[in-house]
């Protein structure tokens, strides 16, 4: 069985080398870059990846589907530049692919997230199972501009028997410092709000506040964020702020229609 790794990038020079080193076991590695202004493209080429570039970025879902069109292998592993595949996970992936002829069409992988010097064990971040390993001819990404989903071709959802479960976690170095978090929050909130606004969704400041409060309570108490100590509290507060930001951004877009 052959395996392609696909990664979409933009200005990921700080991450791309370690990411590519962690997936060197794959048959091919495809990097689809959207107008990076740093050394991402150069570094990826130096690491032996098949690098393609687009002048625009239509959203995460559509961009990932563009990357899938470049795949030549039977199986695909989709990862982000800030994620790493350990040697143990690599071995589990290859074992799953080699014995999956009549088995699952897609596998989910648990993910552990590193935040400001600490691995977060709760807060809804762990276990964080993501569908990332799949048969190339069976899946595609939803066209959501952010928080895209891996879906079966021609259908909206996977049947339970089609999904396998890997045990070894993928390592996610998403937020190395608060600036990193706020930068991504601003981008994701804007994209999320613009998509919902285009779909006609309405909201209010009260809804933004209530959603933020619920997000904090759910993560800190029900998802045991308090067990992560001070950093867990910080994560839950910042996640609540992120929830408020996306709904408030949507509210502001709604108001522009009334001017």
Residues 188-205: tens digit of each pLDDT: 899 999 999 999 999 999
pLDDT tens readout for residues 22-67: 999 999 999 999 999 999 999 999 999 999 999 999 999 999 999 9
Residue 113: name the closest of 237, 244, 240, 228 by CA.
228
Longest dimension (CA), the chain: 60
CB burial class (10 A; 0-12, 13-18, 19+) of residue 256?
exposed
Give the pair of three-digit tokens for residue 174.
């998403």
pLDDT tens readout for residues 8-27: 999 999 999 999 999 999 99
Which domains are present in the chain? 3-174 (3.90.550.10), 177-256 (no CATH)
Give the per-residue pLDDT at 259.
47
- Tell me the C-alpha distance between 85 and 172, whole Å: 9
- Tell me the C-alpha distance between 205 and 101, whole Å: 51
CA distances from 4 to 27, 94, 122 (A): 6, 11, 31
Neighbouring C-beta atoms of residue 8, cutoff 10 Å? 21
Give the per-residue pLDDT at 258.
60
């Amino acid at each position: 069985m052959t395996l392609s790794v696909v990664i979409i990038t933009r200005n990921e020079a700080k991450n791309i080398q370690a990411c590519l080193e962690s997936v060197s076991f794959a048959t091919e590695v495809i990097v689809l870059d959207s107008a990076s202004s740093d050394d991402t493209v150069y570094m990826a080429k130096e690491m032996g990846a098949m690098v393609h570039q687009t002048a625009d970025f239509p959203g995460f879902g559509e961009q990932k589907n563009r990357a899938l069109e470049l795949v030549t292998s039977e199986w695909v592993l989709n990862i982000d530049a800030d994620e790493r595949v350990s040697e143990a996970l690599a071995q589990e992936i290859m074992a799953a692919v080699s014995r999956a002829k009549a088995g699952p069409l897609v596998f989910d992988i648990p993910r552990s997230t590193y935040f400001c010097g600490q691995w977060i064990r709760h807060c809804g971040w762990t276990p964080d199972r993501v569908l990332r390993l799949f048969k190339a001819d069976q899946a595609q990404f939803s066209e959501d501009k952010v928080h895209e989903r891996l879906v079966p071709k021609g259908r909206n959802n996977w049947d339970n028997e089609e999904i396998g479960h890997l045990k070894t976690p993928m390592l996610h170095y998403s937020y190395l410092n608060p600036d990193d978090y706020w930068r991504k929050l601003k981008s994701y909130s804007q994209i999320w709000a613009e998509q919902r606004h285009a779909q006609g969704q309405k909201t209010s400041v009260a809804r933004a506040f209530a959603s933020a409060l619920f997000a904090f309570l759910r993560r800190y108490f029900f998802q045991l964020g308090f067990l992560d100590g001070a950093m867990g509290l910080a994560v839950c507060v910042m996640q609540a702020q992120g929830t408020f930001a996306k709904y408030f951004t949507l509210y502001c877009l709604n108001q522009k229609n009334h001017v």
